[in-house]
Amino acid sequence: MRVCFVSGEFPPMQGGVGDYTSVLARTLSDMGVSATVVTSIEAAPERLDAGVSVLPIANRWGWKSLAAVERAARQRDADIVHVQYQAAAYGMLLPIHLLPTYLGFRLPSARRVVTFHDLKVPYLFPKAGRLRQRAVGQLMRGSDAVILTNREDLEALPSFGADRPAHLIPIGSNIQPRLPLGFERGAWRARWGIAPQETVLAYFGFLNATKGGDTLIDALAELVRRGRSVKLLMIGGKVGASDPTNQQFAQQVEAHIQREGLASHVIWTGHLPQEQVSAAFAASDMAVLPYSDGVSFRRGSLMAALAHGVPVITTVPGVHLPELVQEQNIILVAPEHPREIADAAMRIADHAGLRTRLGEGARRLSDLFAWERIAQETVALYESLLEGRLDS
């Protein structure tokens, strides 16, 4: 089986969709699938990445990119063209939404699949209005199969006029738990200026308006007012390669830290190699992920925290997620309630049994999102399309 992925971002570009595509393509390659990734020129020269052919050929995702993808898929004799979609990763431009329809005419031998990492509509141009949602709907209708990563988007699907059911296949952690050789927790904490008695809250992922960075800083301020010895470890880069609005929000969070006088309590690691991300999680006492729109299994930062077996404080989901069990594998608080976060953080810090139970529960929960399982479900979908067992 030959699969041609299309992704607006790919390592070394920083972004969750690119990291997801990289891990999925490599996992499929290990299963014997021939995988090629067509991506942006910022992803470095053409190369072989752990058995995956990487073709960074899109200067911008305008109209010429459609023909460029067609050429790459034709040269690779692709059975499947699989688009990894998030609007910002394609510069909020229109053409990517028409790629499956275009390929249906130009390369009908290839089946077309799209994974929506979320259902946020693109900007396109001023006053685009309802055309933004229609563009996403056309991306669905032009595809032979649609994959969604979370239940919230599954419930929202009818509003886009989709003419076929979607398949729910979750994402996994883009960071595999793997500590640096000779890891010693105290030494790594000291490396970041963390004293032995200090409680460390970890935040992982880029800053943007939906991830609750402002609420997190308010919770930190509340803990300091209560006299707690606490540090906030901000793991990874502040902003990614795709969404320019993240930079503005990151600046707002930094200004908030300064206003609250918390600069000495916040540690920014900057972008880290994967093993050092694992070290940062292991050096922390808990992860705090206060999404303003509620926790979702589409969040790669959540998946990483679960996989590393750290206690997680996050926000009540917008839909029922029965896998999340309060005080067994997660602590859920109301969005935009920093005092609730502070209360939960103090309980975790003060009760070793609760820390252990939450950490072990998080690790068990992460087994549901193992990459081998995700890859097997993806290949099963491909095979159904190629064998005509799936209505297109």
Domains along the chain?
2-172+370-386 (3.40.50.2000), 185-369 (3.40.50.2000)
Q: φ and ψ at 58, to 5 degrees?
A: -95, 115
Q: Which residues contact 71 (CB under 8 A, 6 or more apart)?
A: none
Residue 132: CB atoms within 10 Å = 19
Instruction: Output the six-digit token pair for 145.
Output: 């199969």
Instruction: For residue 192, give the 3-state DSSP assignment.
Output: coil
Instruction: Output the six-digit token pair for 305.
Output: 């925290």
Contact at 8 Å (CB) between 175 and 206?
no
The maximal CA–CA distance of the chain, rounded, in angstroms, is 66
Q: ∠172-267-181 over CA atoms, to 5°?
A: 60
15, 29, 135, 119: which is closest to 371 by C-alpha? 29
Compute, in degrees rounded to 10, the torsion defined by CA atoms 97, 101, 105, 106: 30
> In 212-244, which positions are buried (b, 16+ CB within 10 angstroms) versus exposed (e)?
bbbbbbbbbbbbbeeebebbbbbbbbbbbbbbe
Amino acid 291 reads: Y
pTM over 0.85: yes
Pairing of strands 199-204, 286-289: parallel
Distance CA 347, CA 311 (A): 11
Pairing of strands 2-7, 34-40: parallel
Q: Which parts of the chain register pLDDT below 50? A: 392
- What's the first-to-final CA gap in the chain, in angstroms? 19
Instruction: Output the six-digit token pair for 161.
Output: 């006029």
pLDDT value at residue 32? 95
